[in-house]
Chain A
Amino acid sequence: GAVVSQHPSWVICKSGTSVKIECRSLDFQATTMFWYRQFPKQSLMLMATSNEGSKATYEQGVEKDKFLINHASLTLSTLTVTSAHPEDSSFYICSARTSGLRRGEQYFGPGTRLTVT
């Protein structure tokens, strides 16, 4: 099946620094990529949707200046958490869609666990 990778798988950073997370589709072209966040014992919450070459669409309550998303190619999207704070510590998961999938189906990356100290 299709593979989506994320890098890094985990990261620890100091408060105030920025962290970049990469999401790659390894064997298909991702027309749309999604970024989710999951806090412990909670559900995945969609942060933003990005289409290659265009600006990301952010969900209500997600600060676009804090969570910078770049989708420069059909196989790569990046999420940068700027000026990270301890409350940004979470599990960040990307997913990708390609043509031919049933509506609503997505391939998920393995996630990145961010801890801000």
Chain B
Amino acid sequence: RKEVEQDPGPFNVPEGATVAFNCTYSNSASQSFFWYRQDCRKEPKLLMSVYSSGNEDGRFTAQLNRASQYISLLIRDSKLSDSATYLCVVNGEDSSYKLIFGSGTRLLVRP
């Protein structure tokens, strides 16, 4: 079983749509959670951290359910520029600051 699992997609949605991505992680001792965005052939960039209470940054809302070991990302009012691969990322339980990446969910926003 992969440590971080995501639906690879692609999710093909029209501009303005709301889309949600889910992610599950296997290590219950994981401490920190993030969503990164990666454009084709580019490095990943931090989109947002995910807090236990849920957090929002503009059109993006992230939620964490520790009991179910489940993380979600909601994008409202999708823009063409949101087209990218969204990576669910978990920090391990040890002190090495290692990041464990999911394989990503691809989003295509069409006009």
The number of chain A residues with a CB under 8 A from chain B is: 24
Task: Judge whether A19 is part of the interface by a CB distance below 8 angstroms.
Answer: no
A93 to B, closest residue via Cβ: B43
* Most-contacted residue by chain A among B31, B45, B99 (CB, 10 A): B99
Interface of B, helix, strand, loop or mixed by DSSP: strand
Contact between B43 and A110, CB atoms less than 8 A apart: yes
Task: Judge whether B46 is part of the interface by a CB distance below 8 angstroms.
Answer: yes
List the 4 shortest-distance A-B pairs measured between CB atoms, nearest first: A104-B91, A104-B32, A43-B103, A108-B43
Contact between A49 and B43, CB atoms less than 8 A apart: no
Task: Judge whether A42 is part of the interface by a CB distance below 8 angstroms.
Answer: yes
Contact between B103 and A42, CB atoms less than 8 A apart: yes
Residues 90-115 of chain A, each 1 if its beta carbon lies under 8 Å from chain B, else 0: 01010101000011111011110100
B residues less than 8 Å from A74 (CB atoms): none
Query: A46 and B104 in contact (CB under 8 A), knowing A110-B43, A111-B42, A111-B43?
Result: no
Q: Which residues of A are in contact with B by a Cβ distance under 8 Å?
A: 32, 34, 41-46, 49, 57, 91, 93, 95, 97, 102-106, 108-111, 113
Task: Report 24 cross-chain contacts, Cβ distance below 8 Å, ordered by A residue.
Answer: A32-B97, A34-B99, A41-B103, A43-B4, A43-B103, A44-B87, A49-B97, A49-B98, A91-B41, A93-B44, A103-B91, A103-B97, A104-B31, A104-B32, A104-B33, A104-B34, A105-B49, A106-B99, A108-B44, A109-B43, A110-B42, A110-B43, A111-B41, A113-B41
Nearest chain B CB to A60 CB, angstrom units = 12
Task: Say which residue of B34, B96, B101, B103 sits within 8 Å of A49 (CB atoms).
Answer: B96
A40 to B, closest residue via Cβ: B41
Query: A44 and B101 in contact (CB under 8 A), knowing A104-B91, A110-B43?
Result: yes
